[in-house]
Amino acid sequence: MTPNDIAKRIIFFLLLLIAFNITWNRLAPHYVLPNNSYSRIPKDSIMKAEESGRLLSYIAGKVSASVVSITAKGSGEMGTFFGETVEVMKESKGTGIIIDDEGLIATNAHIIAGCVEIRIKTADGREFDAVSSVIDTIYDVAIIKIQGESLTVCSIGKSDKLQQGEWILAIGNPMGLDHSVTFGIVSGIGRTDTLANGKTIDYIQTDAAINQGNSGGPLVNLDGEVVGMTTFIMSPTGGNSGVGFAIPIKRVMERIAKLSAALKDLPEDQLQ
């Protein structure tokens, strides 16, 4: 190859490089994202999203003050420990809702059924022993009485006004994580189940994450009102699968009215 041929090839590659550079500069603006990806999102949309986040945070803070964690202990099965037969205490954890300023707490009956020791912890860290309680195992509703002052009471909403697709929050103590908040929608209403007494109950279905320990906690609308009591989930694994159910608060309050009458007849130191 002569020096003349080498020079021609060098010139050819230089021209090719210049042509590529010109073409890239013309096409690049159509493919290169801006340095700040948020610049492609309208500012008013960002502001609306921030406002929605602040609203949810406000609701969670408002309602969480009336939510308590429950630890209940009772006699369980007999077991062997170092060759000795002993009674193993069972322990269950759940959530409750303060429904009046005299220390009345609503929760699920399956949390405290058969337990002889019930401990309540409020959002501000105070702890109380239950002085009395009454359960309704058929409707899975219970009330617990504590002696406390300056208790924050929840606001009760109208569960019969709920519509499918409404946004809601679930607040509870899953896996012992106090006052956890999850967000979702009302997936369905009127999910009917037949109870042991032959009567039916219509549950609220939600996709807000619900796990073990959430039972007895509030389902809350965007007005900061309790519209349901989370009760159980449908899951092949026992963990959240996006199919949770809550008792409508209207039905809960109906049962509580009857349980409250029974509670007044109990001695202060008698549980259940």
**117 three-class SS:** strand
Q: Which two tokens stand for residue 146?
A: 């504590």
Determine phi and psi for 92, rounding to 5 degrees: -130, 150
Which residues, at least 6 apart from 19, have a Cβ–Cβ distance to it below 8 Å? none
Q: Give the closest residue to 122 by CA, choosing from 172, 65, 78.
A: 65
Number of neighbouring beta carbons within 10 Å of residue 153: 14
Q: Which helix (H) or strand (E) element contains residue 57?
A: helix 43-64
- Please indicate whether residue 215 is annotated as part of the active site: yes
Q: Which two tokens stand for residue 117?
A: 């020791």
Instruction: Say which of 110, 136, 155, 260 is annotated catalytic.
Output: 110
**30 three-class SS:** helix
Instruction: Say which of 133, 140, 179, 180 is annotated catalytic.
Output: 140
- Please indicate whether residue 179 is annotated as part of the active site: no
Instruction: Say which of 66, 69, 92, 215 is annotated catalytic.
Output: 215
- Please indicate whether residue 57 is annotated as part of the active site: no
Half-sphere exposure of 256 (CA within 13 A, CB side): 21
Which residues, at least 6 apart from 169, have a Cβ–Cβ distance to it below 8 Å? 56, 59, 60, 63, 181, 182, 183, 208, 219, 220
**40 three-class SS:** helix
Q: Where are the alpha helices (DSSP H) in the chain?
A: 3-27, 43-64, 109-112, 249-263
Return the biggest CA–CA distance within the chain. 114
User: What is the rounded distance in angstroms from the CA atom of residue 17 to the CA atom of residue 134?
Assistant: 85
The set of catalytic residues is 110, 140, 215
